[in-house]
A and B are shown apart, each in its own frame.
Chain A
């Protein structure tokens, strides 16, 4: 049913700009606010009832939490009934729920086409991109939670800082010591080599893989599949040259690097871009071993 919170009047007027003693105007406004909130609640209740009565609705159970709002400080699940349409994705359903029932329902989203990587969530127990997950393929009720193993900021929004730090820890930028001489001259790269790095360049930084990996959950410093894949993307690019590759191998060989991976494969399973993460990690392990064996 509708889970819209009645507006917290105290909360809202707590800003420094407003006076402490409520004036008559304040009271009147508060009263109006209360009435408006009631009206809204009623309308939403009706809408929800209508939706629930309708055959073709889906039940969405969404995780709610907000450290800033008293009623939401205790994490809970809210239920929304959303009319189903063919082709509907989890993101569409969430947007419908937000725009119709509860505008405080919070989640990141932008592109709606699986390229921006904002909306990785935990849907029915698996890491999924909400915009790329068809409702029709899920069992009801559909449970939507924020990504596991990440700090929840609010509702479905998690803190991505740590993930970004890991991504940026592998010197994720192209490095080479020689460029072609001629003006407007590109570096040559063979088709095979481009094919080799192709999948690894598709990562959209959604963090689903990291969230699915138990090793990353246990060891906060583990670089994680996405960052290792990023390192792979450069280490395997022939344009960078041997010496740079050497440096890259040293990065991924560190204590919390590739050796942490226990081939759980869950990263590979959840990656919305179908990047063979485990394969890339394993290849880097072998590269590292080979590289080291040379000096034995």
Chain B
């Protein structure tokens, strides 16, 4: 028992993370929808309004976290679905890294966008 260094096996960790992110997303996605469709209606959206929200540090970090968790949750979900359908071997490795690459692109692009609003010059 004690000699198990990695306390969490891959399967356990991913499974648990998928649930934890789901729990988090549940709250944030609800908030997101509420804010952007019910409080502010779709036809009122403009750069400045987004920008105004994004300049608040808490909102900014919440959105970045939202992006990270959603990306993980979604991509990991897709990966699981494929693996469950019997994806294995080299194909599986290929798919895995493609998904990782796509996630990185998504996250980078997302953060750049957020920065653009927040006025952080890193984009």
- Enumerate chain A interface residues (CB-CB to B < 8 A): 215, 218-220, 222, 243, 246, 253-255, 257-260, 262, 285, 288-289, 292, 295-296
- CB atoms of A215 and B9 under 8 A apart: no
- B11–A292 touching, CB < 8 Å: no
Tell me if B12 and A259 are in contact (CB < 8 A): yes
A219 to B11, CA, bound (A): 15
A220 touches B9 (CB 8 A): no
Task: Knowing A246-B1, A289-B16, A295-B4 are in contact, say whether A254-B11 is a contact too (CB < 8 A).
Answer: yes
| CB nearest to A260 among chain B residues | B84
Chain A: minimal CB distance from B88 (Å) = 8
How many residue pairs link A and B with beta carbons under 8 A? The number is: 39
Whether A262 lies near B84 (C-beta < 8 A) is: yes
**Residues of chain A contacted by B11 (CB below 8 angstroms):** 253-255, 257-259
Residue from the list B9, B14, B85 in contact with A219, Cβ < 8 A: B85
Interface centre among A259, A262, A285, A289 (most CB of B within 10 A): A259
Given the contacts A253-B11, A259-B11, A219 and B86 also touching, CB distance less than 8 Å: yes
Bound-state Cα–Cα, A243 to B2, Å? 12
Pairwise interchain contact A259-B4, C-beta atoms closer than 8 A: no
Q: Given A246-B1, A295-B4, A295-B7, A253–B12 Cβ distance below 8 Å?
A: yes
16 additional A-B residue pairs with CB within 8 Å, beyond A219-B86, A222-B84, A289-B12: A215-B84, A218-B84, A219-B83, A220-B86, A243-B1, A246-B1, A253-B11, A253-B12, A259-B14, A260-B84, A289-B15, A292-B7, A292-B8, A292-B9, A295-B7, A296-B8
Q: Can you offer 26 A-B residue contacts whose CB atoms are under 8 A?
A: A215-B84, A219-B83, A219-B85, A220-B86, A253-B9, A253-B11, A253-B12, A254-B11, A255-B10, A255-B11, A257-B11, A258-B11, A259-B11, A259-B12, A259-B14, A259-B15, A260-B84, A285-B15, A288-B12, A289-B15, A289-B16, A292-B9, A292-B12, A295-B4, A295-B7, A296-B8
> Which chain B residues (1-37) contact chain A, with CB distance < 8 Å?
1, 4, 7-12, 14-16
Residues on the B chain within 8 Å of A257, using CB = 11
- Chain A CB within 10 Å — which of B4, B12, B16 has the most? B12
Chain B residues positioned under 8 Å from A258 (CB to CB)? 11
Contacts of A218 in B (CB 8 A): 84-86
Q: What residues on B are CB-neighbors of A243 within 8 Å? A: 1
Give the docked Cα–Cα distance between A260 and B1 (Å): 24
Q: In the assembled complex, which residues on chain B have CB atoms less than 8 Å from the CB atom of A253?
A: 9, 11-12
CB neighbours of A289 from chain B (8 A): 12, 15-16
Looking at the assembled complex, report how far the CB atom of B74 sits from the nearest CB atom of chain A, in whole angstroms. 16
**Chain A residues, CB < 8 A from B16:** 289
A292: chain B residues at CB < 8 Å are: 7-9, 12
